[in-house]
Structures are given as structure tokens and as C-alpha cells.
Structure 1
């Protein structure tokens, strides 16, 4: 059985990322995240890949941390 809490965790990460990129439309954000993940995994955004929830969740956590660091550096 899949971890039912994953939905809340992943949705929360996406919401936090979106809050840091308010100028981005929702579907644009999702497509960008998917493309960035695909590029990281395969070196191409053209390849269709199966994305496992736990791997994507880890990617989102890393992406969020990168955005937070960027914002902190921009405030200095």
C-alpha cells in the first residue's frame, strides 16, 4: 500500500515552491518542475520517464531548498 501522507507532503512542497515563484502560472510551474526533474534524471526533457512519488518528493525538497538559498542570497 502506498503512503497516503505522500499526497499532502508533495502538495505542500509544490505550494511552497509556488509561493516563491508567484509570477508563475500553476501548470507552467508543474511543467517546469517535471522538465527539470527529467533533465536531472536523463539529461533530456524530451524523454518520457516514469516518475516515482518518493523520488519526485526528494527532488522537490532539494528544489525548494535551492530557491530558499537563492532568495536569501538576493536579500543580502
Structure 2
């Protein structure tokens, strides 16, 4: 009998991974993960077939992990999640006090009063950068903020204050 405790462990891993890619539909996520697993494991589960479109016949494939044991899938998901965690930690380390101060200066240039600069605001800026660094590097985020108009910077600081 298979260990029933594997179910919450595997679902928790899928949940964490999916949270980092919220724009994916669930089946997109699963299909992407299956393709990665297959690529990393000598094309395990890759099934080739031929399709005919009128007179033209072409080869295609799909991934079938029906026979993959849950412990192997769980190990793959754990390793995949570990890679994501490492990347998140690296990005978070790039959010230095100097980076936060640089953004504060950009907001002050846009008309924010210096008395509004608090530790709480700086923490919210850090949280904003952490969240947005899923999509862009910290360097790219800085460039993006610098290229905003003064009005857009004001809008951004108001958004950050509500985080």
C-alpha cells in the first residue's frame, strides 16, 4: 500500500511551485513540470506518434507519466522547488538598503515629502521589490522606476504604501 502521507506532501509542493507562476492554468503547470521531468530523465514517458493532416504526415509527441512512481515525482518536485527557493533567496539578497534608499530618492524627486520616509515605508518598498522580482531583476526594476514619469512615480509610491 502506498503511503497516504505522500498526498499532502506532493500537493504542498505543487501549491508552492504554482504560487510562483500564478498566471499559469493548473494543467499548463502540470504539463510543463512533466516535460521538464521527462527532459531531465532521458525522455521518460515521451511517446511519439504520427499525425496526418491531409496529404502531409508529421511526427509529434506527448508526455505520459502514468507509470512514474509518486516517490520519484515527489523528489523531482522537491528538487525543482529547491531551485526556485535558491533563486528567490538570491533575488532577495539583491534588495540592499542602498537599493531601497535609491528608490526612496526617486520618490522624493517625484514630490514625496521626506517626512513620509519611515522604516515601515522602506519595508514596504522591500516587499514590493521582492514580489516584483519574480518577473524582473532588481536592476531592471530600478531602471523601470527611473523611467517612470513623476506622476507615475507618485502613483507607484501610493500603491506601495497600501502593501
Deviation of residue 53 (structure 1)? 0.3
Runs of at least 4 residues off by over 3 Å: 43-49
Equivalent residue pairs, number: 76
Alignment of 1:1-76 (within 5 A): 1-43=1-43, 46-47=46-47, 48-49=64-65, 50-75=67-92, 76=94
Q: What is the rounded CA distance, in whole Å, between the counterparts of 2:76 and 2:88 in structure 1? A: 18
Bigger CA drift: 45-54 or 55-64? 45-54
Deviation of residue 74 (structure 1)? 2.4
The two structures have a TM-score, normalised by structure 2, of: 0.43
Pick the structure with greater CA Rg: 2
**Higher fraction of strand:** 2
Bigger CA drift: 38-47 or 21-30? 38-47
The two structures have a TM-score, normalised by structure 1, of: 0.86
Deviation of residue 46 (structure 1)? 3.2
Q: What is the rounded CA distance, in whole Å, between the counterparts of 1:2 and 1:30 in structure 2? A: 22
Contact 1:10 1:57 in 2 (8 A): yes
CA RMSD of aligned residues (A): 1.7
Q: 5+ residue gaps in structure 1?
A: none
**Higher fraction of helix:** 1
Q: 5+ residue gaps in structure 2?
A: 48-63, 95-163
